[in-house]
Amino acid sequence: MKFLIKKSDKNSSARLGELETDHGIIETPIFMPVGTVGVVKTMSPDELEILGSQIILGNTYHLYLRPGTEIIKKIGGLHKFNCWNKPILTDSGGFQVFSLARLNNITDNGVEFQSHLDGSRHHFTPEISMEIQRNLGADIIMAFDECPPGDSGNKNILQAVNRTTKWMARCSNWLKNNPEIYDYEQTIFPIVQGGVNYELRKKSIEELIPFSNCGMAIGGLAVGEEKNAMLDTIQYCDTILPKEQPRYLMGVGKPSDLIHAVGSGVDMFDCVMPTRNGRNGHIFTNNGVINIKNEKYKNDFSAIDEHSSHKWGKVFSKSYVRHLFNINEILGLRIASTLNLGYYLNLMNTMRLQIQAGTFSQWSLKMLNQMEDQKGM
């Protein structure tokens, strides 16, 4: 995998880049729709491609539980299983183990846990996570890390940093001894931990750089910490992370967060917000977020978003989409999810164009001021 920085913004750390994988080139900065269990909910691969999706996510923990790694391996990997021919990134499953499952024991060896589905007992180690991700066959795979809650004390965060470094070494060693099983390259991203403690972030980055060939992830944010502390930590990481490698901010976030983070040198993002919020009736528009279930839209026959990048935003009325949600019609979920993903992907495309034009800093200041007055942005 190769990363090329094509242009850098003069007044911020924003940069325009290309990430080359064996399944295609990814233009950065990029937002990656989340297909946790092998599908971006309610969306087909063709629809995702039309929206401008260049790469999607899968999750090791969820795919391990359902349908099971062996089933995906039998068909030749996740690309063939879900008919997505562009790049895929898989999370290591660490975050889900710590946030969803009932934990029994965490040691330096790994994690024992009970499935959130049926209570069955399982054991994840760095080696097991790597083996699962080898079989899934994503282009970019994530190291197995420990992600402490946002309210953790420095002692627990330090323990997570140390454990994450040790686990990264084991991931790297396993991959060296177990080459790719498909006819394309897989690249691992280490995951930086450290909470909002700058000293621990610096320690984590410096310890993980030797394991990084083409990309590092910023983990352990958007887990309950104060927003300004999160943004300041991202900005701090920008000063230490390798400039020549792509940076992936995990699990973030709202549109304004993405603009801030691009200005701090982040290249890749993922978040369930567009699809999850969409399924709950929250639609991102160029005028802010609207809750389409609200009574006030019952007789509102105006378009959802006249400036939407997708035709559905311009042709379907608020009243009609509200009606679809009220009768539990799947089309309502599809419209909301499609418009939200379209909004996010169009926002990233706009940022790429602004960086190319040399106007990102002026544009971002204007957009952030505008979003301050818009609910949910």
Residue 49 scores a pLDDT above 90 = yes
Please tell me which residue in 9, 139, 238, 270 is annotated as part of the active site. Answer: 270
Task: Please give the mean pLDDT across all residues of the chain.
Answer: 96
Please tell me which residue in 9, 91, 139, 257 is annotated as part of the active site. Answer: 91
Residue 114 burial by Cβ neighbours in a 10 Å radius (0-12, 13-18, 19+) = middle
Q: pLDDT tens across 193-228, in order?
A: 999 999 999 999 999 999 999 999 999 999 999 999
Mean pLDDT of 247-275: 97
Q: pLDDT tens across 58-87, in order?
A: 999 999 999 999 999 999 999 999 999 999
Cα torsion for 140, 246, 51, 258, to the nearest 10°? Answer: 120
**Residues facing 113 on adjacent strands:** 103, 122
DSSP letters spanning 3-38: EEEEEE-SSSS-EEEEEEETTEEEEESEEE-B-TTS
Distance CA 307, CA 301 (A): 16
270 is catalytic: yes
Which residues, in sequence order, are CB contacts of 295 under 8 Å at separation 6+?
A: none
Helix locations, the chain, DSSP H: 45-51, 60-65, 69-75, 78-82, 94-99, 126-136, 154-177, 198-208, 227-238, 255-263, 273-279, 311-315, 318-326, 330-357, 360-372
Residue 101 scores a pLDDT above 80 = no
Supply 157's token pair: 């965060």
How sure is the predictor about 96, in pLDDT bands with cuts at 50, 70 and 90? confident
Query: Which domains are seen in the chain, by residue range?
Result: 2-271 (3.20.20.105), 278-372 (no CATH)
Q: pLDDT tens across 342-365, in order?
A: 999 999 999 999 999 999 999 999
Instruction: Tell me what pLDDT residue 48 has.
Output: 98
Query: φ, ψ for residue 64 (rounded to 5)?
Result: -65, -40
pTM of the model: 0.97
Instruction: Tell me what pLDDT residue 177 has.
Output: 98
Distance CA 207, CA 194 (A): 12
Instruction: Tell me what pLDDT residue 370 has.
Output: 96
Mean pLDDT of 105-118: 90
